[in-house]
Copies of this chain bind each other. A is one copy, B any other.
Amino acid sequence: VKQIVQCVPNFSEGRRKDVIDSIVAAMSGTPGAQVLDTQSDPDHNRSVVTLVGAPQPVMGAVFHGIAKAAELIDMRHHRGTHPRMGAADVVPLVPVRNVTLDDCAALARQLGDRVGTELGIPVYLYESAAIRPDRRNLADIRRGEYEGLSKEIATDPDRFPDFGPPSMGAAGATAIGARFPLVAFNVYLNTSDIATAKTIARAVRYSSGGLRCVKALGMLVEGQAQVSMNLTNYRVTPIHRALELIRAEADRLGVTVTRSEVVGLVPAEALLDAAKFYLQLHDFHPDQVLENRLTDDGSDDE
């Protein structure tokens, strides 16, 4: 059975095109791993690359990217509005198909070991790959950013890395972790009143009493109120549940949903779950999706 993982490394360079291209090139051309997307933000001075493929090829490709970033980015001169502590700043591994979150955590630790040992970069394991509970949250690891961590890494035992040396070079430190696929899901309302969007966002998000795996903000996009969400685990909090709660709250406030959008990529399963919910397909099995029955070579060996 073919395994597929996704890796979304964040690099601390969003302005110099030649540097970004070199890092992406270092991750391309590994058979079995595929660069799907690169997005660079000059203000953040940061690029986010999406890699997918079989576990070991993806691990090899992202290692080459981390090495190239360490070679070309000097964190002592890096400026940008996004928090950061390393040239390869954050490297999450994400399960896509026939892979568990635990599998991805094991891969993250394997990659962390290699980055620490072979590249001499301090590595912190985060989220589901964390081996210290105080390192599950990325923000806690990145506290003080490159400059603050440089001062404390050698002397504060709480800041010793999980792999690699307790000292910061020009490449800084890298957080490597495992997490579930994020779904960026936005819902537009038939109003230009941002307060309405903020009220609904408060109702739906976990931090103020809403759904377990929803982060939400109310904002105004081209004059239209929008509830902007990150669904951090669509298996626990599915898309349709977030939308139905928004529809109920919108109704109470006398507004309606005009449309919604998924930003970027979404696993097929998250949308099939929505179809199952709305069509009341209670006993539907993923094997009934024709494409899920195709083996990669079309042969009969499944």
Contacts and interface: CB of A to CB of B under 8 A. Distances in A.
Contacts of A293: 34, 36, 52, 265
Interface stretch (A101-109, A199-207, A280-288): A280-288
Nearest to A258: B280
Contacts of A32: 297-299
A33 interface: yes
A284 B299 contact: no
Given A279-B260, A299-B32, A300-B34, A266 B288 contact: yes
A240 interface: yes
A283 B186 CA distance: 12
A67 interface: no
A262 interface: yes
A288 B293 CA distance: 21
A157 interface: no
A16 interface: no
Interface string A35-65: 1100000000000000011100100000000
A290 B267 CA distance: 5
A228 interface: no
A284 B261 contact: yes
A248 interface: no
B294 A34 contact: yes
B264 A288 contact: yes
A239 interface: yes
A22 to B, nearest CB: 16
Interface in A235-267: 239-240, 243, 257-262, 264-267
A278 B289 contact: no
A195 interface: no
Interface stretch (A143-151, A219-227, A269-277): A269-277
Interface string A143-179: 0000000000000000000000000000000000000
Given A31-B299, A260-B280, A280-B260, A267 B288 contact: no
A284 to B, nearest CB: 6
A4 interface: yes
Contacts of A278: 240, 274-275, 277-278
A191 interface: no
A261 B276 CA distance: 10
A181 to B, nearest CB: 8
A291 interface: yes
Given A258-B280, A265-B290, 5 more contacts: A32-B298, A32-B299, A265-B293, A266-B289, A278-B278
Give 4 closest A-B pairs by Cβ, nearest first. A278-B278, A53-B298, A271-B275, A274-B275
Interface of A: 4, 6, 28-29, 31-36, 52-54, 57, 96-97, 181, 239-240, 243, 257-262, 264-268, 271-272, 274-284, 288-300, 302
